[in-house]
């Protein structure tokens, strides 16, 4: 059955009452305040990100701008009679379920996006689709309040490093690159999070979208300018990075050093945006004058208003309408509390000694100290095993009682942070792995010591994956879904990250890794299962 058919049936059973704009405004206010109270943790988490992250500071202005844009439409809205679309309770409940999944998987972006979408959907639910259609953009503009987008930072950092090196080589400057770091005759440079360009991208997209709405009337021109505001900051960031490195190189590192490169970066970005807006103004479209209400429409509106006054008993109070919205919003929140009550508070224990099988025996490692950046695990264990001339190390990071301060899968969890001064990632890839009859694709990488850069530095190959509810996955998004599904079924949130690595050298480290995983994979699976069942 289509959504329209469902909506028609609901409207037949629950005929939509009419509201005055005074009552509709009160209902929306009560409903939004109630949503903020029910999902206070989500709102607080969103605001805290605005406060501490320069990337999303602009979000403090999103709601005021949206309200101002709606206020500018008040004359148009006055031509419509608020008529609640109660069938929108169905998608509202679906958004609540999406919030629940995001909360179970501890994904801020999902919970915050779902909450903002619930706020947006509350408006057409109360005032009806025809009236809400007149303020579509101001409502959707609220989505810019969601602090999302940093997940693209690693890829943007790679692009920036690649394009900067390309520009330097095109300028005749010799460059030696390893991952996000590169060396030129005047010194060493590194692309870190602040150089990724994500801040410029989000700021440009937000301001560019608002500019397109205010200055263009046709959808085509608006979409073209939004696309431009998306592409320009990406290219501008590559140019910015190249210019900063060139300034440092030509000045003997007197310019563009320390915090100066950030100041120069924002100044350059400001100039680029102003040029983009100046060019965009050449195709500005003035807003068409509002058409007067035709006599037939005016009479229809008058008749509707008189009818609503004659059947005053059908006019619901704003409190009742807001309570209807909040009753739906309470369902996923209540479900979350039930799931949380089932979680175990026991601290797990794990020993890797049983992996000394099939000819593998525990040994002292000849690798320098390294740990992946997976903060705050419930436990972590490391061991090294040798067989014939092969040596393999394994680390297990086990998580239980996951939340926003402790979670297996996060954009901040990585093999090596860009700020790490001891190690760097020089290659990434994937490989097929088979454990206990279950085949899956694991991630692989080659890590290298930074201290030995340029003089036969030590390297090792690492293969890593996740263990979630007895399943092996390496994809972060799929892992989040499996984790949320396990918690929904009452199976808890126990999960682990497994890292198996060996030194890159004369021996075939890939053969050593494959052999170790094949020989000990089932034993490791049994160890994790036993740990999971100790509640």
Q: Find, among 467, 51, 86, the residue nearest to 314 by Cα.
A: 86
Nearest CA-CA partner of 45 in 117, 118, 106 = 106
pLDDT in tens, 157-172: 888 888 888 888 888 8
Buried b (16+ CB within 10 A) or exposed e, 116-147: bbbbbbbbbbbbbeebbeebebbbebbbbbbb
Q: Which helix (H) or strand (E) holds 176?
A: strand 176-178
H helix and E strand count, the chain: 17, 11
Quick check: helix, strand or coil at residue 1? Answer: coil
What are the percentages of helix, strand and coil residues in the chain, rounded to 5? 55, 15, 30
Q: Count CB atoms within 10 A of the CB of residue 257.
A: 14
User: From start to end of 317-378, where are the E strands?
Assistant: 361-362
CB 246 within 8 A of CB 169: no
Half-sphere exposure of residue 329: CA atoms within 13 angstroms, side-chain side: 25
Whether 177 and 91 have beta carbons less than 8 Å apart is answered as no
pLDDT tens readout for residues 125-152: 988 899 999 999 999 999 999 998 777 7
Residue labelled with tokens 């198996």 = 500
Quick check: 64 pLDDT over 90? Answer: yes
Residue 466 has pLDDT above 90, yes or no: yes
Q: Distances in Å between the alpha carbon of 384 and those of 111, 341, 360, 501, 514?
A: 40, 38, 10, 9, 15
- Cα separation, 241 vs 263, whole angstroms: 12
> What does DSSP assign to residue 152?
G
The neighbouring-strand residues paired with 459 are 448
> 371-420, pLDDT tens digit by residue?
899 988 988 999 999 888 888 999 999 998 887 778 888 878 889 887 77
Query: In terms of C-beta density within 10 A (0-12 exposed, 13-18 middle, 19 or more buried), how is residue 363 classed?
Result: middle
Q: Whole-angstrom Cα distance, residue 10 to residue 15?
A: 8
For the segment 302-307, the average pLDDT, to the nearest whole number, is 44
Does residue 475 have a pLDDT over 60? yes
pLDDT: is 438 or 49 the higher one?
49
d(CA 156, CA 188): 20
Cα of first residue to Cα of last residue in the chain, in angstroms, is 44
Q: What value does the mean pLDDT take over residues 174-190?
A: 79
> Which of the pair, 248 or 460, is modelled with greater confidence?
460
- Answer yes or no: are the C-beta atoms of 366 and 503 closer than 8 Å: yes
- Tell me the per-residue pLDDT of 344-379, one tens digit each, with 9 for 90 and over: 556 678 888 888 888 899 888 777 788 899 988 988
Q: d(Cα 281, Cα 284) in Å, to the nearest integer?
A: 5
Question: Under a CB-based contact definition with an 8 Å cutoff, are residues 161 and 169 in contact?
Answer: no
Please report the pLDDT score of residue 286 as a whole number: 66
Q: How confident is residue 302, by pLDDT bands cut at 50, 70 and 90?
A: very low
> Angle of helix 260-280 relative to helix 198-215, nearest 10 degrees?
20
């Amino acid at each position: 059955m289509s959504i329209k058919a469902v909506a028609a049936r609901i409207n037949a059973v629950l005929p939509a009452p009419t509201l005055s704009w005074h009552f509709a405004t009160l209902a929306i206010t009560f409903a939004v305040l109630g949503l903020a109270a029910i999902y206070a943790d989500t709102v607080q988490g969103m605001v805290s990100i605005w406060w501490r992250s320069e990337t999303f500071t602009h979000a403090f202005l999103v709601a005021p701008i949206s309200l101002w844009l709606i206020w500018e439409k008040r004359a148009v809205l006055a031509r419509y009679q608020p008529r609640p679309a109660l069938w929108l309770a169905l998608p509202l409940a679906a958004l609540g379920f999406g919030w629940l999944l995001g909360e179970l998987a501890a994904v801020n972006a999902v919970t915050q996006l779902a909450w903002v979408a619930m706020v947006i959907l509350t408006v057409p639910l109360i005032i009806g689709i025809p009236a809400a259609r007149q303020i579509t953009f101001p409502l959707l503009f609220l989505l810019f309040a969601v602090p999302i987008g940093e997940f693209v930072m690693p890829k943007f950092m790679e692009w920036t490093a690649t394009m900067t090196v390309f520009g330097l080589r095109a300028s005749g400057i010799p460059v030696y690159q390893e991952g996000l770091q590169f060396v030129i005759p005047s010194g060493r440079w590194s692309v870190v999070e602040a150089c990724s360009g994500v801040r410029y991208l989000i700021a440009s997209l937000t301001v560019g979208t608002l500019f397109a709405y205010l200055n263009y009337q046709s959808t085509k021109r608006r979409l073209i300018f939004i696309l431009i505001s998306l592409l320009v900051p990406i290219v501008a960031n590559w140019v910015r990075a190249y210019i900063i490195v060139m300034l440092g190189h030509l000045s003997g590192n007197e310019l563009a050093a320390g915090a100066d490169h950030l100041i120069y970066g924002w100044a350059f970005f400001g100039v680029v945006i102003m040029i983009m807006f100046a060019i965009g103004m050449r195709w500005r479209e003035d807003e068409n004058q509002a058409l007067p209400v035709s006599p037939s429409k005016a009479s229809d509106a008058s008749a509707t208003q008189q009818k609503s006054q004659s059947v005053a008993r059908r006019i619901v109070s704003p409190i009742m309408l807001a309570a209807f919205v909040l009753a739906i919003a309470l369902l996923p929140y209540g479900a979350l509390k039930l799931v949380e009550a089932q979680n175990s508070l026991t601290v797990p224990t794990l020993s890797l000694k049983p992996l000394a099988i099939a000819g593998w025996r525990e040994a002292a490692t000849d690798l320098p100290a390294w740990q992946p950046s997976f903060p705050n695990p419930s436990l972590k264990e490391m061991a090294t095993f040798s067989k014939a001339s092969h040596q393999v190390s394994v680390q297990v990071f086990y998580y239980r009682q996951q939340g926003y301060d402790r979670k297996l899968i996060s954009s901040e969890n990585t093999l090596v942070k860009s700020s790490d001064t001891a190690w760097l990632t020089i290659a990434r890839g994937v490989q097929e792995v088979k454990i206990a009859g279950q085949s899956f694709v694991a991630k692989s990488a080659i890590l290298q010591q930074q201290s030995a850069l340029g003089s036969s530095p030590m390297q090792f190959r690492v293969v890593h994956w996740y263990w979630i509810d007895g399943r092996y996955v390496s994809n972060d998004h799929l892992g989040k879904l499996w984790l949320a599904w396990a918690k929904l079924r009452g199976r808890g949130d126990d999960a682990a990250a497994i890292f198996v690595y060996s030194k890159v050298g004369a021996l075939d480290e890939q053969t050593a890794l494959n052999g170790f995983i094949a020989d000990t994979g089932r034993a490791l699976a049994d160890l994790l299962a036993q740990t999971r069942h100790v509640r």
